Amino acid sequence: MKFPKHSPTLNHRTIEHYVLNSKKKHLYFIPGTAANSNIFERIELPSDTFELHFIEWLIPTSKNEKIEDYALRMCSQVQHKNPILIGVSFGGIVAQEMSKIMACEQIILISSIKNRNELPKSLALIKKTKAYKLFPSYIIPTLEIIAAKLFGEKAKKRIHIYKNYLSFRNPLYLNWAIKQVLCWKQNNSLPNCLHIHGDQDPIFPMKYIQNCIAIKNGSHIMILTKAKEISKILNNKLQ
> pLDDT tens-digit profile of 62-82?
999 999 999 999 999 999 999
Domain assignments of the chain as residue spans, ordered by start: 12-238
Give me the torsion for CA of 114, 119, 123, 125, rounded to 10°.
Answer: 130
Q: What is the pLDDT of residues 140-150, one digit of tens each?
A: 555 455 555 54
Cβ neighbourhood burial of 104 (10 Å; 0-12, 13-18, 19+): buried
Residue 130's pLDDT is 60
pTM as predicted: 0.82
Angle between helices 171-182 and 121-129 in degrees, nearest 10: 110
Cα–Cα distance between 84 and 95 in angstroms, integer?
10
Please indicate whether residue 156 or residue 92 has the higher confidence score (pLDDT). Answer: 92
**Which residue type sits at 215?**
I
How does pLDDT run across 175-234, given as a tens digit for each residue? 899 889 989 999 999 999 999 999 999 889 999 999 999 999 999 989 999 999 999 999
DSSP line for the chain: ----TT-----HHHHHHHHHHHT-EEEEEE--TT--GGGGTT----TTTEEEEE------SSTT--HHHHHHHHHTT--SSS-EEEEETHHHHHHHHHHTTS--SEEEEES--SSGGGS-HHHHHHHHHTGGGG--GGGHHHHHHHHHHHHHHHHHHHHHHHHHH-----HHHHHHHHHHHHT----SPPSSEEEEEETT-SSS-GGG--S-EEETT--TTHHHHTHHHHHHHHHHHH-
The confidence band for 1, taking pLDDT boundaries of 50, 70 and 90, is very low
CA-closest candidate to residue 95, choices 81, 78, 80, 79? 78
Checking DSSP bridges between strand 106-110 and strand 84-88, what pairing results, if any?
A: parallel
128/204 Cα distance (integer angstroms): 17
Confidence of residue 170 (pLDDT cuts 50, 70, 90): confident
> Does residue 17 register a pLDDT over 90?
no
> Is the per-residue pLDDT at 117 higher than 90?
yes
Output the pLDDT for position 25: 96
What number is the average pLDDT over the span 22-36? 91
Q: How far apart are CA 164 and CA 167, in angstroms?
A: 6
- Could you tell me which CATH class the domain 12-238 is placed in? alpha beta
Query: Is 92 a residue whose pLDDT tops 50?
Result: yes
Top pLDDT among 175 and 19 is at 175
